[in-house]
């Protein structure tokens, strides 16, 4: 289908400290005991997209990721992992692999996407409209009812509430305006020309940019080359394309190459007539209307390009792992509501307990839980809505609610963990009480300590 897929795997996201570390780049964070990247790769595999280009920030992360991919997807996918220097941003990353892009259209995905929306749908919408860029928007996941009801979680949702302001045309197929969350509190400026051409604009704040884009290659390359200072696809490139859709400065090359591609040796005149005929028949989008109107007054018809949008169905799961809150939300959803994505078979009790896991007497594991391979639990433990990784040793009388416990964690007797994330190799001594905390890798929580809404990490890490 002449599409090339680029997965942007990022590096160590700052928003996810202390979960990420040198050993664990963002895309390898476990979601239901699988790296989050595997969800994207499996989605692509399901859609017969087996040739990927992967861009990772930072050499060491690239090494980690490529070794993980080669061990897991060795015969299933053809993945080229490319490392780019850190802090070049998504646009910079694409700039770095410019020479690799050859197909007509490029599908760019973020490696931290957990979704079941077929990328084909985005690609198809893109093709159908012959758009310059198509972005997928999904409805903002309602952060699940945090059982702990803690203030900390609430604060975080508020902080994370960087809504995108999205303007759509009445048919909900074109993007008229997009403002990333950072510019949220300023007033919104909408271009009059776009508004006039489209006639009507629907402004929505309940949509989230899922960071799955289809770009026309010529457009993408041109923008990246012309605008050296563009760093991010989401914050720079996409808004730029949306802004300039009615006075497109690009694509001069693109259009030419297209014409050469179709290579019609018919008379120029008839070609113009033909394209006009075709244009007359197809339901004109406002772009064409605009170009047509202008053709009347100005001798040179204005160039336009289309920015399409694919709005994912609400019933489909789609989330990005880009914050700590999102991390625990996704973990909960994957073993809970959106369990069909996980690829695991759930038991009758709606949970997954690996056969090699050992549970003590009177220990209960509730629904929407997962206990990984080789984990041991003492007596009278209770686990609710939590994910426990591999080879954890958990003492007796431990309560784990709404939490994520990664691998090789040892938890002493009588601990209570609520709404927290415990990274690998953490040691919790007896009677530690954690509520809404994040504990970085290899941290040791001393016996009897109590923490609430804190993020704990080893000092020497930095």
Partner 1 sequence: MDPRRVPRTVIDPKVRHVGFITAPDRSNSGPPDPIPSSPRASDFSPSGNSLSPVMIPPPRHLSTDLSRHFPHPPPPHSPLRGPRAVEYSIPAGSYNPSEFLSPSATTEFSEDPLSPRSGRKGSSGKFASSLPAGGFEMALAKQNNGEVHKEKKVAGEKPLKEKTTKAERRAMQEAQRAAKAAAKGEGGNAGVNSTNTVKSVKAVPQRKDNSPLAAPSEKKGGQPDKDKKKDAPHPRMQFDDENRVEKAKKRSVVKQTESRNRVELFRHLPQYEHGTRLPDLESKFFQLNSVHPAVYKVGMQYLAGNISGGNNRCMAMLQAFQESIKDYSTPPEKALIRDLTAKINSYVSFLIECRPLSMSMGNAIRLLKTRIAKLPLSLSEAEAKASLVSDIDRFISEKIMLADKVIVKQAVTKIRDGDVLLTYASSSAVEMILLHAHELGKQFRVVIVDSRPKLEGQKLLRRLVQKGISCTYTHINAVSYVMHEVTRVFLGASSILSNGTVYSRVGSACVAMVANQFRVPVLICCEAYKFHERVQLDSICSNELGDPDAISNVPGRKDINYLDGWSNSENLRPLNLMYDATPSDYVSVIITDYGMIPPTSVPVIVREYGREYLWV
Site residues for partner 1 per CB under 8 A: 1-3, 47-49, 104, 118-121, 123-125, 127-130, 262-267, 270, 273-274, 277-278, 280-284, 296, 313
Closest CB to partner 1 among 229 and 262?
262
* DSSP, residue by residue, 339-405: HHHH-PPP-TTS-EE-TT-B--TT-EE-SS-EE-TT-EE-TT-EEES-EE-TT-EE-SS-EEES-EE
Q: How far is the CB of 265 from partner 1 (least distance, A)?
A: 7
Q: How far is the CB of 313 from partner 1 (least distance, A)?
A: 8
Closest CB to partner 1 among 252 and 264?
264
Cβ–Cβ < 8 Å for 143, 157: yes
Closest CB to partner 1 among 258 and 379?
258
Helix (H, G, I), strand (E, B) or coil at 64: helix
Q: How far is the CB of 212 from partner 1 (least distance, A)?
A: 13
Strand order in the sheet with 393-394: 376-377, 393-394, 410-411, 427-428, 444-445
- Token pair, residue 163, equals 């809504």
Closest CB to partner 1 among 1 and 203?
1
Cα–Cα distance between 460 and 462 in angstroms, integer?
A: 5
Closest CB to partner 1 among 90 and 294?
294
Q: How far is the CB of 40 from partner 1 (least distance, A)?
A: 14
Cα–Cα distance between 242 and 436 in angstroms, integer?
A: 40
Closest CB to partner 1 among 97 and 124?
124
- Token pair, residue 192, equals 């009059």
Burial level of 130, CB count in 10 A (0-12/13-18/19+)?
A: exposed
Q: How far is the CB of 179 from partner 1 (least distance, A)?
A: 27
Q: How far is the CB of 93 from partner 1 (least distance, A)?
A: 23
Cβ–Cβ < 8 Å for 129, 308: yes
Q: How far is the CB of 334 from partner 1 (least distance, A)?
A: 21
Cα–Cα distance between 137 and 157 in angstroms, integer?
A: 20
Closest CB to partner 1 among 169 and 436?
169
Q: For residue 235, give the nearest of 397, 121, 386, 227 by alpha carbon.
A: 227
Closest CB to partner 1 among 127 and 211?
127
Neighbours of 355 (CB within 10 A): 5
Closest CB to partner 1 among 216 and 332?
216
Q: How far is the CB of 260 from partner 1 (least distance, A)?
A: 12
Q: How far is the CB of 136 from partner 1 (least distance, A)?
A: 12
Cβ–Cβ < 8 Å for 406, 30: yes
């Amino acid at each position: 289908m002449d599409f090339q897929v680029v997965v942007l795997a990022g590096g160590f996201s700052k928003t996810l400290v202390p979960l990420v570390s040198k050993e664990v780049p963002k895309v390898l964070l476990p979601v239901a005991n699988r790296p989050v990247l595997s969800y994207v790769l499996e989605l692509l595999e399901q859609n017969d997209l087996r040739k990927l280009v992967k861009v990772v920030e930072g050499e060491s992360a690239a090494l980690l990721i490529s070794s993980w991919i080669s061990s897991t997807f060795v015969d299933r996918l053809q993945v080229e992992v490319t490392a780019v220097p850190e802090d070049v941003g998504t646009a910079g990353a694409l700039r770095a692999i410019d020479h690799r892009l050859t197909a007509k259209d490029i599908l760019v995905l973020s490696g931290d996407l957990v979704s079941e929306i077929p990328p084909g749908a985005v690609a198809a919408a893109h093709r159908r409209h012959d758009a310059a860029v198509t972005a997928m928007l999904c409805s903002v996941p309602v952060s699940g009812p945090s059982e702990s009801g803690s203030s900390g979680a609430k604060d975080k949702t508020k902080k994370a509430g960087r809504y995108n302001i999205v303007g759509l045309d009445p048919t909900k197929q074109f993007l008229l305006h997009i403002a990333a969350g950072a510019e949220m509190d300023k007033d919104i400026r909408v271009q009059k020309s776009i508004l006039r051409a489209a006639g009507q604009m629907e402004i929505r704040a309940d949509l989230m940019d899922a960071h799955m884009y289809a770009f026309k290659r010529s457009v993408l390359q041109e923008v990246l080359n012309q605008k050296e200072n563009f760093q991010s696809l989401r914050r720079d490139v996409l808004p730029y394309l949306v802004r300039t859709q009615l006075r497109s400065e690009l694509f001069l090359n693109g259009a030419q190459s297209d014409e050469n591609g179709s290579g019609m040796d018919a008379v120029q005149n008839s070609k113009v007539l033909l394209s006009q005929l075709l244009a007359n028949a197809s339901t004109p989008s406002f772009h064409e209307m605009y170009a047509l109107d202008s053709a009347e007054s100005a001798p040179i018809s204005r160039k336009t390009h289309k920015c399409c949008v694919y709005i994912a169905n609400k019933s489909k799961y789609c989330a990005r792992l880009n914050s700590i809150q999102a991390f625990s939300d996704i973990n909960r959803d994957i073993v809970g509501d959106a369990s069909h994505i996980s690829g695991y078979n759930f038991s009758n009790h709606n949970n997954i307990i690996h056969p090699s896991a050992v549970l003590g007497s009177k220990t209960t594991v509730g629904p929407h839980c997962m206990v990984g391979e080789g984990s041991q639990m003492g007596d009278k433990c209770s686990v609710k809505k939590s994910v426990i990784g591999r080879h954890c040793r958990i003492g007796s009388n431990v309560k784990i609610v709404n939490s994520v416990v990664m691998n090789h964690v040892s938890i002493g007797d009588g601990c209570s963990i609520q709404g927290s994330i415990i990274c690998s190799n953490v040691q919790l001594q007896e009677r530690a009480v954690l509520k809404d905390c994040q504990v970085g890798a290899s941290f040791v929580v001393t016996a009897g300590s109590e923490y609430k809404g804190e993020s704990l990490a080893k000092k020497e890490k930095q």
